[in-house]
Amino acid sequence: MSESFSSPGIDPPSPTLSARLRELSDYLAAPAVGRLTEEQRALSLGIARRLAVEVAARLDASIDTDALWSEWLRGGLPSAARLAGICFARAEEHRWREHSAQRSSAPLILVDVEAAHPDASTGNEPLSDIDRAYLALQIADRRRFDALGNPGLAVADVDSEIFRALLLDIAAWRLAEVSADQSRSSQLGEAVRIASDKQAKEPGIEQAGRDYFEILGSELPRAAASAIARHDWPTLIALAAAAHQRAYTDMAITLLSAETAALPSLLAPLRLAHAALAPLEASLVMLPARAVADASSGDYAEYSAAAGRTR
């Protein structure tokens, strides 16, 4: 027997009422499961908005992004299932980073190359290959913020299938606006192709992390330990992702949801001394509302697979 959210005297229910009843139903089905905080909701929504605006600009600079976003807020984001994972991962990484910065003197966005590598060249001497790779990683990280310092997703860091799906969603919205203009309608398909091809060639933080990892060689343990000591979480995530040959987003959410006892094995490829993990363990324990997984949990991988099936 299927449940209905309709109620005597309310026919049909408003979209707002339906959404709240669905949310209440989910809560009653599992009252002990932690829910999103208002901060997590706001961060994730803001990240989704900034990504949609940037993708829309790539598709057609004349798109009214305020109108697009307003309509999506009312009716729901077409790519919600695909965007949820990457937006939540980015939001949680930002919360972790900001919370760590508030508790220490570690900078929030860009870490100095000299601080990361004390042996770095100074004065007019050229940077070493390692220093250049580290700097490229920091530049890739900085692209994930807007001009006001708000967290976002760089287009280069978005999975190509998710990016194309978002392009198509925006193109469909735009098509409804310009359907009477045959020339502009026909240009949308070509614009999607051009934007997809361009995005596929753009290196992001994941590629920068792999380049840094590969060039470190025997310096890997020291660089990873230094990143932890400075609370430079993006560098740690990028190195761990490269070591495990996993996507940056997957590695970020894996670290953020890991039990403390799982961290040594999770970061074993970085060859860290156990004592070097202490600042990492402390920072994760202190992060409020963290979605901690048990040792056998595959929640994010299962969600990613399910979201992929909706494409």
Render pLDDT for 211-232 as a digit per residue (tens, 0 to 9). 999 999 999 999 999 999 999 9
Q: Which residues of 236-260 are buried (b: 16+ CB within 10 A; e: fewer)?
A: bbbbbbbbbeebbbbbbbbbbbbee
Domain count for the chain, please give it. Answer: 1
How big is the CA angle at 230 (ends 131 and 256), to the nearest 5 degrees?
105
Question: Taking 50 as the threshold, does the pLDDT of residue 258 lie above it?
Answer: yes
Q: Assess if residue 123 is contained within a domain.
A: yes
pLDDT at 126: 86
Distances (CA, A) of 266 to 37, 116, 240: 27, 22, 8
Q: How sure is the predictor about 3, in pLDDT bands with cuts at 50, 70 and 90?
A: very low
129: DSSP letter: H
* Domain presence at residue 25: no
In angstroms, the CA 192 to CA 222 distance is 44
Residue 42: C-alpha distances to residues 91, 97, 155, 259, 291 (Å)? 9, 16, 20, 26, 17
Q: Which two tokens stand for residue 116?
A: 């990361």
Who has greater pLDDT, 19 or 176? 176
Judge whether residue 296 has pLDDT over 50: no
State yes or no: pLDDT of 115 exceeds 60: no
Sequence-ordered list of residues with C-beta below 8 angstroms from that of 59, at least 6 positions apart, any chain: 167, 170, 171, 174, 188, 191, 192, 195
Q: Give domain status of residue 23, yes or no.
A: no
pLDDT at res. 242 = 98
Tell me what pLDDT residue 15 has. Answer: 74
- Is the pLDDT at 69 greater than 70? The verdict is yes
Q: What's the rounded mean pLDDT across residues 301-309?
A: 48
Q: Is residue 82 part of a domain?
A: yes
Q: Is the pLDDT of residue 106 over 70?
A: no
Q: What is the pLDDT of residue 118?
A: 53
The pLDDT score that the predictor gives to residue 178 is 78
Q: Given pLDDT bands bounded at 50, 70 and 90, which one contains residue 22?
A: confident
Between 6-20, 207-221, 269-283, the lowest mean confidence (pLDDT) is in: 6-20
Please tell me the distance from the alpha carbon of residue 26 to that of residue 23, in angstroms, as a whole number. 5
- Asked whether the CA dihedral 37, 39, 42, 47 is positive or negative, the reply is negative
Q: What is the mean pLDDT of residues 275-280?
A: 96
8 belongs to a structural domain: no
Upper half-sphere CA count for residue 221 (Cβ side, 13 Å): 9
Whether 21 is covered by a domain: the verdict is no
Tell whether the model's pLDDT for residue 39 goes beyond 60. yes
> Which domain range does residue 59 map to?
38-309
**Locate tokens 């890739």: which residue?**
140
Residue 55 lies in a domain: yes
Taking the C-alpha atoms of residue 250 and residue 238, their distance in angstroms, rounded to an integer, is: 11
Query: For residue 15, is it within any domain?
Result: no
At residue 294, the pLDDT reads: 54
